[in-house]
Structure 1
Amino acid sequence: MTIKIGLFGLGTVGSGLLTLLAEQNNKIKASTGLDFTVKTALVSTLTKDRPGLDPAIQLTTDPNDILNDPEIDLVVEVAGGTGSAKGWIKSALSSKKPVITANKDLIATAGQELIELANKAQVPLLYEAAVAGGIPIITTLQNYYRTDTIRSLAGIVNGTTNYMLTQMAQNGLSYEKALKQAQELGFAEADPTNDVAGYDAAYKAIILARLVFGLESTLDELAITGIQEITDDDIAAVKVLGGQLKLLFTINQVGEDSIALSVSPQVILPDSPLSQVHNENNAIVVNSDNLGQTMYYGPGAGARPTAQAVLADILLAATATKESHQVFSSENMRLAEPNVQAYCWILNSKTHESIESAVHELDDELNGYIVRQGSHENSNNGSQLVLYTKEITTANHDRLLKELTQKRTLNKEFVIYPC
């Protein structure tokens, strides 16, 4: 049986999909009896040279050549954006064509609406490639965890920032040099704002929070901090006590009907599995009642990993039962503040002092909140005090920091990711 595909977008992921189809189609046909072929691909221009492109694929700049073609069985959208792409997907779903997309921005901002439309049409809307490239996290959460209760998710889902922070930590690069290197290698765009400001990771966190906890949220509602202000001195200071800095999303259930969701650079301790995730790789940690902590690791971006996620969804859509229906989360959580958090503080000393004198000036209760301390010689700010705290409430955070900053100034504050 031949399944004809309409493809929106022939960039990195779209071209990668054509490569995988050429390599894997015989294997897929032998195991399923299905023969996938891209009939028509929407491109921005017809004059671009595309060496090696199968001449049987029709190229077009008119989306209606795909949307109005009764021979096309399913639609793949990898063009990106939240404008035209939304209209294409809505039109395809209304025509009862399954849709596979890698569009994280669109699924984050309009996912609820599109899933409802897909359910009304009783066809699949699949978006595995929208979250973590080659890590099959969406399918895993939708299926494997149906008999478990998830309490939290966290992870590294942006390869650009993870590559930059890895290079800054391991090779002593400055932020500017790490960014330039990431751009030269194709990990970062010419305008890297979406990655370094944390928006890319936040969109993926929104998708996961909806899927698992039924939370509908927007970027404006979330606490998002990027890595633009991270310096090589910050990384060196954190390293004094054995930590690393990683841009993480965290989703934690903090009440019966509430979760805390944030994206920020956090300190990773050596015994955390996330401490082993370097360069452009991604990882997601899931904590659940039955399994405890599990981690899903792999390449988060790139032509082949992302195209593999798209191809897996194509096969899933083509073999889905009729009257397909995507189940929403049974939860209906709201956003809330975290109950307790552990902190890393980097403090600039106004005068030369020993670590012991800084800690001894505290009363026993406040001193008990500090678990590790060390000193770092900052190239610009001189001697710095580096402290790790236990998990403490906001009130105790404020009390402890107030005492510590009577004789020194706060240079940086980071949350410590719990192991």
Structure 2
Amino acid sequence: MPFTPNFFQSQDNTEELKSILGALIKYRRIEESMSLSFVADILHINKGYLSEAENGKRFLAKKHIQTLFDFLGSSFVDSPAILYQLRASLDQIFELSIDFHYEKIQELCIDILKERVTYESSYGFFTFHLIELIYEILIHHDHETIEKIESLFSAYAGILTTTEKTYLFYFLAEYYIRQSDFQKGEGYIQQAYSLLKTGMHPKIFALLQALEATSLCHQGQSGKAFLQITKSLNYFKNTLYFKRIVFIHYITGICLLGMRLFEEAKQHFTNLLPNFPDPDSVMAQSILAHLSWCYLLIQEYEKALTYANMAFEHGADSIELDVCQAFSFFSLKQYEACLAVVERCANEKQKSYLFDFLQLIQYKIEHSEPDFLQTANAVLAQAEKKKNKEIEKMTLGLIVNFYEESHQLDQSHLHLKQLTQLLAA
């Protein structure tokens, strides 16, 4: 997207352009580790005048702009058209993201990133870096770059328009929720909400509600998540954003699962699966995995294994699915198959409390009392911390069974009471 420079048209003396130019000068100066006094003294510019320019209160004279950017080892293309075209591209990227058109986003962003030199020397500097941030979050996943741009906007978010700030907070919230930093993700969601007036921007409101529901689901607050995802669906069901609607239905299924409405969740995911004709797609794999868990939790272990195997065959690979498969084998007393899953995970998977749960099953099969009890306590503590009620319940069930088999009835009754209370919660 090349542009023909149009240098120093000071007649474009709008408040917005003054603020952007001033912020860019300040950013370049700080980047070069120069104080305001130092730059003013070296270039023989009044310090107060330069300070007002950096704070967007006035435009610098043409000669000072040229001299200042030369001194800071940069340049400036004084064309507001660059800013407006970047903003149009930003709106297009956001619109494409609603229905997950990531290939088109990638193509558009790469074309923009090729013109980095021009955009970083223009009024479009901050909008360009917002687009770069979105590209990294959705496509490229360079965490260092994301953190660097986040740091930039922690200092200069005030330069952005309300719409740009909403995009910023929305995508950063999505990023941190993906990273399981739910506190930070929800903080950005609340910042985005605060920018939107009631009744305005219903589309963005609905997107934020879906994002908030996703976060709440992961934190075990499925009831609250269900309320938010229902609000989001009420908006999107009347739109043509097909992929977004399907995704919202997917989150709805997870909410039902989290609320222990296993039959409803099973039916919901079963109805959703035909929307993904490619069984190798990530979403199809995830739905198969969730169906496996639905059947596990209603104790239909053969069907749980059927869906787990289908998920594995189509490329799914997660410790949660391994747990589902192993526990189903264990419940069916197919101990050799169960131990084979544990052994495979010991060689391939990163260790976590879910892997400890797999080892717990192994110790139960092998009647290894000290290892079993020690591991059971560790898994219970971690499952409670992670708010994983199902692993907590399954672990308590194993403990009750262990004490029953060893005729330690007092301990069995104690843990059975704990399990009953958890089931009733």
TM-score, normalised by the number of residues in structure 1: 0.28
The structure with the greater share of residues assigned to helix is 2
The structure with the greater share of residues assigned to strand is 1
